[in-house]
Chains A and B, each alone.
Chain A
């Protein structure tokens, strides 16, 4: 079955720096990959989607890369702010269903 790995350790960075989160997967060839933000006790909020034939996608301070050879996606937040502190989830799938990684908690310190 598919396996999705995100760094379980929290990522602590200083305000203004770029945060980079990693999502690795095995035993799967997703049609696309999504990144979500989740705050405690809340449902996930969609951030970005990247398709299997796309290498990179950007949205404001966010950038996602998708390497289907390495089976890896990188999620970057530039000029990070304390308000960016949250857990970030990657999800892989196709139109029928998605599978989520365990998430990485990001702490941005002022």
Chain B
């Protein structure tokens, strides 16, 4: 089956620094990838839709200058949390849809970000 990886699986950073999270589709090409954030015991909140070769589409209330998304290839999207603050601590999950038109989304294992 389709596999999506994320790196790192967890990261601890100091307030004010930036952190980059990678999302890769390992055995398929993904024109579109999605980034979600999940707080403890809450659901996944869609942050943005990442399209290969174009600008990401952000959901209302998500700061595009704070959460930089780059989708440089059909197998890689990155999310950079800039000037991180403790309130950015969360579980970040990406998903990808393959290019053959499947309706299924394949999720990565998630990245736990802790900002101290």
Q: Which residues of A contact B (CB under 8 A)?
A: 32, 34, 36, 41-46, 49, 51, 89, 91, 95-103
Given A98-B34, A102-B42, residue A45 in contact with residue B107 (CB < 8 A): yes
Inter-chain contact A100/B44, CB cutoff 8 Å: yes
For residue B81, give the distance in angstroms from its CB to the closest CB of chain A: 18
Tell me which of A32, A42, A100 contacts B110 (CB under 8 A). A42
Closest chain A CB from B108 CB (angstroms): 5
**Chain B residues near A98 (CB, 8 Å)?**
34, 46, 105
B interface secondary structure, majority = strand
B112 within 8 A of A: yes
Which residues of chain B from 22 to 64 have a CB within 8 Å of any chain A CB? 32, 34, 36, 42-46, 49
Is the CB–CB distance between A95 and B110 below 8 Å? Answer: no
Interface size classification for chain B: 20 to 34
B93 at interface (Cβ–Cβ under 8 A)? yes
Cβ contact within 8 Å between A41 and B103: no
CA A36 to CA B112, docked complex, whole Å: 20
Cβ contact within 8 Å between B46 and A99:
yes
* Contact residues in B for A89 (Cβ distance below 8 Å): 43-44
**Closest Cβ of chain B: how far from A100's Cβ, in Å?**
4
- Nearest Cβ distance between residue A19 and chain B, in whole angstroms? 19
Other contacts beyond A43-B4, A96-B49: 12, CB < 8 A: A32-B103, A34-B104, A41-B91, A41-B110, A43-B93, A43-B108, A44-B93, A44-B107, A46-B105, A46-B106, A49-B103, A95-B103
| Chain A residue at smallest Cβ distance from B109 | A43
